[in-house]
Amino acid sequence: MTSVLSDKLSSGPKGLGDPEDRTLRRVEKEILIPKIMRDKARTEKCTDFVKAFNDCCKENSILLVLKCRTENSRMKACLTDWYNNQHFRHQCEDIYLNQRSEYRRTGIKAQ
């Protein structure tokens, strides 16, 4: 049976692609890896700034736009710094590629 997908995307032990392939598609570079970067930056790198902003939002409900500008600016600056850090980007690419490789090898998605 022929597939509309290239051999690179439909080969491998489960027909999900070559687990050893380390090339990235455009959607992976522009959407999937930046999502990992945002999540890791929020939960691991900028936790103090995110917490301060969230606390400010909870305290100032309706007026949060006016009262939480400083906290929002600090949080955004921290996230932007990590988002522009090339070493961090390469770490997140490795995380993504390892998860993709495992999925292609086993057919089980990472949690």
Q: State the DSSP code for 12.
A: S
Residue 71, pLDDT score: 96
- Which residue, among 11, 9, 19, 15, has the nearest Cα to 105 in the 3D structure? 19
Percentage of the chain surpassing pLDDT 70?
85
What is the pLDDT averaged over residues 41-49?
Answer: 97
Residue 30, pLDDT score: 96
CA torsion angle 14 20 23 29 (round to 10): 70
Q: Where are the alpha helices (DSSP H) in the chain?
A: 7-10, 26-27, 33-40, 47-59, 64-67, 69-83, 86-106
Q: How confident is the model at residue 63 (pLDDT cuts 50, 70, 90)?
A: confident
Residue 1, pLDDT score: 47
Q: Is the pLDDT of residue 66 over 70?
A: yes
104 or 5, which is more confident: 104
46, 82 in Cβ contact below 8 A? yes
Q: How confident is the model at residue 22 (pLDDT cuts 50, 70, 90)?
A: confident
Q: If phi over 0 gives left and psi between -120 and 50 gives alpha, with beta otherwise, what is residue 15?
A: left
